[in-house]
Amino acid sequence: MVIRGLRVVRGGRPIIDGLDLRVPAGSVVGLMGPSGSGKTTLMRSLVGVQDKVTGTVEVLGGAAGSPVLRRRVGYMTQDASVYTDLTVVQNLRYFAALAGIPDGAEAVAAAVGTVDLGGHEKQRVGTLSGGERSRVSLAAALVGGPDLLVLDEPTVGLDPVLRRDLWAVFRRLAAEGRTLLVSSHVMDEATQCDRLILMRDGALVADTTPDELLATTGAPDAERAFLALIDAARPAARPAQGTGPSGSTGPSESTGPSGSTGPSESTESTEETAR
């Protein structure tokens, strides 16, 4: 992934303004940063569903959001991205078809196995537990066999056992040569990444590794290292939220019926992406 001069305007104000970044393939990259620092906005830009994007955003050698990338990029949004009135398998068949796999039985079975949902195949998603539901979303992002997986806080709300198991899945997917960009607020997850991107107020605070993070800050653990870097990156006068024209609500953005990887995302918005 190569990003040059990325600028994103949301709600009438620049959320990201002039971001440059390179992400190596075949690695697990953690995207960390305080709430509101622009992680989701960056991910949406990479997937090609974000409006009002300027700059260069290249993913797997193509322009972000271009049709050829549709099968190659899997996106798990923060909110559940699957249909609650369909079963696990019905959902995954649907997402497999979207990814261009007409008879997706094998891919669906593999995705169910990867996220450890065996036994729940015929259960309606609306009746699953929260953790199970979020694993269906992950399976939906996985089912097309993407080379790049963009996962927005995939472990939020999961218990420690499930988090550990999911991170084992992420490592396995990276070992197969896939690239994973994973956002998280949990700093012990940062230590499981190959690289770490730290953001604050829409800007890059650090592009580093877990070891470098500890070495450069001298902090005893990743959480304190992260806080040290975030505190050191003093924000340029932070605009007040929700006041005046700059904080006003802009045109609403489509996140789909359930914020999904599905067809309702505004993938067309890439025409605003400078190539």
* Residues contributing to the site for ligand ATP (CB under 6 A): 10-11, 15, 33, 35-41, 250, 253
Q: How far is the CB of 154 from ligand ATP (least distance, A)?
A: 12
Provide the minimum distance between the beta carbon of 190 and ligand ATP in the complex, in angstroms, as a whole number. 14
CB of 41 or CB of 208, closer to ligand ATP: 41
Rounded to whole angstroms, the Cα distance separating 261 from 49 reads 10
Identity of the residue, 17 or 194, whose beta carbon is nearer to ligand ATP in the bound complex: 17
Q: Which residue is nearest to ligand ATP (CB)?
A: 11
| DSSP assignment string, 141-190 | HHTT--SEEEEESTTTT--HHHHHHHHHHHHHHHHTT-EEEEE-S-HHHH
Smallest distance from ligand ATP to CB 205, Å: 12
The least distance separating ligand ATP from the CB of residue 108, rounded to whole angstroms, comes to 29
Q: How far is the CB of 43 from ligand ATP (least distance, A)?
A: 8
Structure tokens belonging to residue 105: 């039985």
Q: DSSP string spanning 99-151? A: TT-SSTHHHHHHHHHHTT-TT-TTSBGGGS-HHHHHHHHHHHHHTT--SEEEE
CB-nearer residue toward ligand ATP: 67 or 242: 242
Rounded to whole angstroms, the Cα distance separating 178 from 224 reads 30
Residue 34 dihedral angles phi and psi, to the nearest 5°: -60, 160
59 or 96: whose CB is closer to ligand ATP?
59
| Closer residue to ligand ATP (CB): 10 or 72 | 10
